Chain A
Amino acid sequence: MTLRQAPWAPTALAAVVVLALTGCGGAASAQPDEADTFVFATGKDISCLDPHVNGDMPQASLAANYLDSLVSQDKDGKIHPWLAEAWEVSEDGLTYTFTVRDDVYFTDGTKFTAEAVKANLDHMVDPDTQSGTAGGYLKPYESTEVINETTARVTLNRPYAAFLEVLAQPFLGIESPTALKRPQAENCISPVGTGPYKIVDYIPQSKVSLVRNEDYNSAPPFAQHEGPAHIKNLEWLIVPEDSTRYGLLRAGQVDALDLMPSVHFAEAEADKKVQLVLQDRPGNPTNLMLNTTRAPFDDIKVRKAFLHSVYVEAGINSVYFGTVTKAGGPLASTTGFYSPDFENAYLPDPAEADRLLDEAGWTGRDEQGYRTKDGKRLTVVLPYTPAAWPTAHAALVTQIQASAKQRGFDVRIENQDFASSSEKYNNFDYDLRAGYWNTNTADVLRIVFSTEYMKSAGFVPNGSGFSNKEFDRIVNEALATDDPDIRAGLYYRAQQIVSENALQLPLYNQTSQLALRQDRFANLTLEPSLSLPYIYDVTAVNAS
C-alpha cells in the first residue's frame, strides 16, 4: 500500500516539481569537448524532419543544413544559381527551364538529375504530403517535364514573380527521389539530401544526429567556403524549456541555441563567451489572427474595437525586454515593398474601442463586467499551445487578455496540445489564432490573406478567413509583372486593404535569435532566405 509505506511520497513529488524549475534537467548527451562536434539546441519540437510535410520553422532550420535548393538568394534578395546552374523564363512567365548540375549526388548515392527536380516539386504539391508551406507556395505549379538528364521544364498555371524566391527557401529543398519513394513515415525520420550534412539518427523529441557529407561539392554562393563542412559531427538537440536550453549553453553542454530566451539577453550580452546572432525575418509578423468567418469577429467594428483595446507595446517592453521589434502592419519591416504607413493604424484607444462596441450593439454588461449583446457574452476563444511559443509570448497573450477585459472582452485562452489546436485552426474553430508567416517576399500577403489560401491540404495560412475580390486581384496582378513600381503600388494597396479590415493584431517581427559559444566556435551565419542557422561555415576556435 503506497500511502502507508511512503507517507511522504506526495511531498517528495512536490519537491520534484520545485526542483524541475531550477533547470537541473540536463538532457545533453554530447561530448562538448570535442572540437569536431557542434551541438546545437533548438527550442521547438520537430514533427517530421522532411520540410515538405507540413512546413514549420524548425523543419526548415534543420533542412538548411542537409538539403540544397535549386536556387539561392543573397542578403540583398538577388537570386543566384545553386543546384540549378541556369534557367530561362518564357515571355509569358509561365515556363521555367532549369539547367541543373551534372556532378552532384545525394547522400544515399542517388545522382541528382532533372528527374529529381520533378520528383520533388510533384511531392510538394501532392495532397498526401499535407504540405501547407511548400505546397502552399506552389499553388501556381502545374507540372514538370524532364527534357533530358540535366534539363527540367516547369510549367505554371499563372505568372508567379516570386517563384524563384520561394525555391530558394529550405522548405523547398531538394530531396533524394529514391528516398521520397519510401512511405512518408519513413522519409519523415530519415530524409536524404545533397547537403553538407546527412542525418544518421533521429530520436523524436530528443535529438537529430548528423554527420558531415565528405563528398559535398555543391556549396551555395552565400557560403564562405567550398567542399565538406569544417565540423565533422552535428548534434541537433530539441530542448523546449527556455531556461534549460540557455542553462545548457552556459554550462558548455551545447555550443549554440536558437530562440534565445529574452529574459537572459542582458546576461548573454555581458558574457564574453557568448555571441548573439540576431536578424529580423521578413514576412507576416507574429500576430493574432481574427477569425472573420464567425461571430463576434465577423463584425468589423468588433475587430477594430479589439485592436484598439489591447496594449501590446507595454507587454513587449516588460516580457520581451525590448528584444523584439513591435509590428503594426501586415508586413515585417524587413520585407520587400513594406510600407511604414500602417504601423500606427490601431494604437490603444479605450474611448474609440468603447464607442465601436456600443455601435456594434455590445452594450450590456454582465455581473463580471463583460459586455453582452442579446444576453450573450462577448467571448473570443484563443486555442493555444504553450510549447509552440516562447515563454514571453504566453505572458504577452495573458496581458492582451487582461487589457481586452478592461473593454469588456472575455478572451479565453485554452491551452491544449499541438494536435488539438491544429485541428481547430484548420477548421476555423476559434476566434483568435496565434501565427506568423516567414517568407522572403511581399507575396506573403497573398498567402496569408487571399481567398485561395482559406483551404489547404495541411496548415491553413489564411487564418482570418478573409475573402475579398479586389484584394485577390491585386496580389495576383503583382505576381504577373516584374516592374517594381507597379508592384510597389499594388502591394501598397494590398497592405492598406488588410489594415483597413482589421484582420490581425500585429505583435512583433519574427526574428532569428541565436547564441553561440564563441570561445569554442566561430562563424555561425544565417542562411539568407529565411535567416536560419547555417552550420556549414562554422569553425572551431583553437583553445590554445
Chain B
Amino acid sequence: MSVALEPTTTRTPLPGGDQPGTQPDGGRRRTRITSTLRGLRGTPIGVWIAAAVLAFLVLAAVVPSLLTVKDPYIIDPAGAFTAPNAEHLFGTDQNGRDVFSRVIAGTGQSLLLGLAATAIGLVLGGLLGITAGVSGKWLDSAICRFVEILFAFPGLLLALIVIAVSGTGVVTAAIAVGVGTAPGYARMLRTQTLQVIAAPYVETARSLGRSRRHILWHTIVPNVIRPLFVLATLGVGQAIVWASSLSFLGLGAQPPAAEWGAMLADGRNYIQIAWWIAAFPGIFITLAALTTTVVGRHLQQRLEAEV
C-alpha cells in the first residue's frame, strides 16, 4: 500500500500479557480494570466536559420526553418566527414549531444515524481490510487497488453516489455514509492486520501448531478488532456531520422529520430575521461532532499509553 499508515496501537506483546487466546480471561480483566482507574485520574477537564455534554445528548436521544413536553411536529402559523423566550427556549421556526423540542427530538435520529453509519463503515471496511491483510499477494493487491479507486472519490461524494443509486431516506443515508467511510477503515484495518500477523505471538501460535483458521479467529481478528472501538468513537463525529450534510442537501431525513441537518437547511434562508432556527441545530451538530471526537481521541491516547 502506497501510504504508510501509522498503526492505531504499536503493539509489542507483553510477555505473558493480555493477548486474547494466549491467556485465560481473568488475568486480562484485572489488567484492564487497573489501567482504567489509572486513566481516569489523569483525565483532563476538557474531556470531562465533553463527556458530560455527550451524556446529555445521549439522554436527549434516549428519553427526549424528559427534557421537553412539546410536540416537535405541531404547526402554528400564527406563532411563526417567535424569538427565544421562556415558553420557547430556542424560539419557533417558520411553521411555528418549537425549535427546542425539534432539536431534542432530532438528537436521537442524528446520533443513531452516526452510530449506524459508523457501524456499516466499520463492517464493510473491516471485511475488506482484514481479508486483504490475511490473504495472499494477489487478492491483497486486488482489494488494495479497489480501495484506492474508492479513495479517488471524496467520501461525501461516494455517499452521494450511493444516494443517487438507491434513493433518499434515513436508511439509505446511513448506508451511504457508511460506504463513504469504508475505504478509510479498510486501509487502517489492513495495516493493523499486517502488524498483528507479523507479531511474535502469532509466530508463537503458529509454532504451537494451531490451525490457520484457529489463528485467524482466535489470535488475529480479536487483536485487530480491539482498537476498532476507539476508531468508531472518532468516526461517529464525522458520520454525524456527513449524515447531517446529506439531510441538509435534502437527501437524508424527509420533511417534517426533526433532523439537525434538515433543520439547518430549513432555517438558513431566515437567518437574517430569525437566527435561532438554524443556529441551534448548527450548535448541536457542532457539539455532537466535537464531543465524540474529544472523547474518542482521549480513548485512543489512553489505549496507546496502556500498551
Question: Which residues of A approach B to under 8 Å, CB–CB?
Answer: 1-4, 7-11, 13-15, 17-18, 20-23, 241-243, 261, 263-264, 267, 311, 314-315, 317-319, 386-387, 391-392, 394-395, 397-399, 401-403, 412-417, 420
A-facing residues in B193-251 (Cβ within 8 Å): 231, 234-235, 237-238, 240-242, 244-245, 248, 250-251
Per-position 1/0 for B121-147, Cβ under 8 A of A: 000000000000000000000000000
For residue A264, which residues in chain B have a CB less than 8 angstroms away from its CB? 272
Write the chain B residue with the least CB distance to A8: B293
CB <8 Å contact, A3 and B235? yes
| Stretch with Cβ within 8 A of A (4 or more), from B13-21, B36-44, B53-61, B72-80 | B72-80
CB <8 Å contact, B168 and A415? yes
CB <8 Å contact, A318 and B241? no
For residue A317, which residues in chain B have a CB less than 8 angstroms away from its CB? 77
For residue A315, which residues in chain B have a CB less than 8 angstroms away from its CB? 77
A-B contact pairs, 26 of them (CB 8 A): A1-B187, A3-B231, A4-B6, A4-B300, A8-B293, A10-B292, A13-B238, A14-B244, A15-B286, A17-B282, A18-B279, A18-B282, A18-B283, A18-B286, A21-B268, A23-B271, A243-B269, A315-B77, A317-B77, A318-B80, A319-B94, A394-B266, A398-B256, A412-B254, A413-B254, A415-B168
CB <8 Å contact, B95 and A10? no
B104 on the A face (CB < 8 A): no
* Alpha-carbon separation in the docked complex, A329 to B270 (Å): 31
CB <8 Å contact, A416 and B167? yes
CB <8 Å contact, B95 and A17? no
Query: When A415-B251, A415-B255 are in contact, do A20 and B241 touch as well, CB less than 8 Å?
Result: no
Per-position 1/0 for B269-307, Cβ under 8 A of A: 111110000110011011001101100110010000000
CB <8 Å contact, A401 and B255? yes
CB <8 Å contact, A22 and B234? no
Minimum C-beta distance from B176 to chain A (A): 14
* Alpha-carbon separation in the docked complex, A399 to B92 (Å): 14
- Could you list 20 further interchain pairs (A-B, Cβ under 8 angstroms) beyond the known A3-B184, A394-B266? A2-B184, A7-B296, A11-B289, A13-B245, A14-B289, A18-B279, A18-B283, A18-B285, A21-B267, A21-B271, A21-B282, A22-B271, A243-B268, A263-B272, A319-B80, A391-B270, A395-B94, A397-B255, A398-B95, A399-B95
CB <8 Å contact, B95 and A314? no
* Alpha-carbon separation in the docked complex, A3 to B241 (Å): 14
CB <8 Å contact, A21 and B74? no
Minimum C-beta distance from A408 to chain B (A): 15
B182 on the A face (CB < 8 A): no
B113 on the A face (CB < 8 A): no
* Alpha-carbon separation in the docked complex, A364 to B169 (Å): 28
